[in-house]
Structure 1
Amino acid sequence: MRALLLAAGMGTRLRPITDTIPKCLVPIHGKPLLDYWLESLFSGNAIERAVINTHYLASVVEDHVALSPWRSRIDLVFEPELLGTGGTLVANRERLGEGPVLVAHADNLTDFDVAGFAAFHAARPATAAMSMLAFRTDAPRTCGILELDGQGLVQAFHEKVENPPGNLANAAVYIVEPEMIDFAAKLGKPFVDLSTEVIPHFIGRIAVMETPGYHRDIGNPESLARAHAEFRPGEGA
């Protein structure tokens, strides 16, 4: 399986840190966030190769990846104009191969089990076109909260609502089948948002795996501070 790491964001809520450091390279315990991702993806056999899209401070990301022990398994793709999560998938479909693709927002700090997620997807219900990682959030009003049926398939999303029905949240880590990339391509436009324009079409066909490990969006100073206080590398699932 191949992976798409979305790393092009500007990280405006983390300024002034991100004035000179791309969000994907913000350090946690002295280690850039992207390095946690690369180690997680490539330390096992689940992911053979990854595409990383860049935009903001792209040269800084390029220089960092050039020194990575995983550099021979990484394809960097610069986006002069952002394409959105779905648009990036479509634009890189040849690089990503013909099978399922793991798609992840590289601005989250997580220690989920990549191989376990791949195995979960392989054993998903036959009707499911996507597997979604989920986590228990301590701030449900700021997340996309999921409602599942008895098979663990998504029946509804509650995106950043005042009184969400629970705390099981979308972790923005997916394994998508080619059918979903085909759907995004048929929209016929360069910018496509996966979460608003593609995923809603597949409600009832998204299998959910909950991670028991650590997961946090480090997109604002408070979350970044909490990640430094809470995260202990190697103690997750």
Structure 2
Amino acid sequence: MLALLLAAGMGTRLRPITDTVPKCLVPIHGRPLLDYWLELLFESNSIDRVIINTHYLHKQVDAHIAASRWRARIDLVYEPELLGTGGTLKANQALYGSNDVLVAHADNLTDFDVDDLVAAHQNRPRSAAMTMLAFRTDAPQTCGILELNAEGLVKAFHEKVEDPPGNLANAAVYIVTPEIVAAAEAVPRAFVDLSTEVIPNFVGRICAVETDGYHRDIGNLESLQRAHEEFPAPPV
């Protein structure tokens, strides 16, 4: 399976760090966030290649990947103008064709089990068009909170509401089928947001899989500091 890492964002909430460093290369314990993702994906048994979209400070990402031990298995796709998460998914459809693809927001620090997620996707209810990683958040008011039915399918989203009905959140890691890609392609413009323009149309057909590992959006300075405090440093 291919994985599409969404890494083109400007990281404005992480300034001043991201004034000179792209968000995907922001270090945690001295190691760029992108390298945690590449290790997670390539050390699984499920991911063959990784596509990474770039935009802001893209030459730094290019240079980093050129020096990576995984460079032969990575495709970099530069976006002169940001396409949005759904726009990137449809713009690169030729790379994965009619196959399912793992799509992940690379501004999260996580250690979920990739093989378990892929296995859950392969064994999802027949009506499900995609599989979504879910996690328990300590800040449910800032996340997209999920309500599930008895089959583990998402029956409702509560996006950053004052009093959400729980703390099971969308982890922004998906395995999507060609039906999801086709829905993104049906939007008649280049920029498409996956979370607001595509995914809501599939409520009742999204299989949620909860991770028992670590998962945190490091999109602001406070979250980045918490990641430094909580996430174990890699071995020297």
Question: What TM-score bracket applies, with the shorter chain setting the length?
Answer: over 0.9
Shift of 1:98: 2.0
CA distance in 1, matches of 2:101, 2:148: 23
Contact 1:37–1:106, Cα closer than 8 Å, also in 2: yes
* Residue 24 of structure 2 corresponds to residue 24 of structure 1: yes
Question: 2:153 corresponds to which residue?
Answer: 153
The two structures have a TM-score, normalised by structure 1, of 0.97
Contact conserved, 1:51 with 1:96, CA < 8 A, in 2? no
Using the TM superposition, give the Cα deviation of residue 96 of structure 1 relative to its aligned residue in structure 2, in angstroms: 2.3
1:95 aligned counterpart, secondary structure: helix
Residue identity opposite 2:183 in structure 1: F
1:65-214 equivalences under 5 Å are 65-214=65-214
CA drift of 1:205 comes to 0.2
Question: How many residue pairs get matched?
Answer: 234
Q: Distance in 1 between matches of 2:84 and 2:221?
A: 24
Structure 1: where are the runs of 5+ without partners?
none
> Paired residue for 1:10?
10
SS of 1:216's equivalent in the other structure is strand
Contact kept in structure 1, 2:29 and 2:233, CA below 8 Å:
no
Shift of 1:44: 2.2
SS in structure 1 at match of 2:5: strand
RMSD value, Cα: 0.8
Residue 53 (1) aligns with residue 61 (2) = no
Give the match for residue 39 of structure 2: 39
Give the aligned residue type for 1:73: R
AA of the residue aligned to 2:92 = N
Large movers: runs of 4+ above 3 Å: none
Q: CA deviation at 1:95?
A: 1.1
TM-score (norm 2): 0.98
Counterparts of 1:107 and 1:97, CA distance in 2: 26
Q: Percent same amino acid among aligned pairs?
A: 71
CA distance in 2, matches of 1:65, 1:23: 15
Cα distance per residue 1:11-50 (max 9 Å; x no partner): 0011110011100001111110000000000012201111
Contact preservation (8 Å) 1:4, 1:96: no
Deviation sequence 1:63-122 (CA, Å, 0-9, x none) = 000011110111000101110111101000011232110000000000000011000100
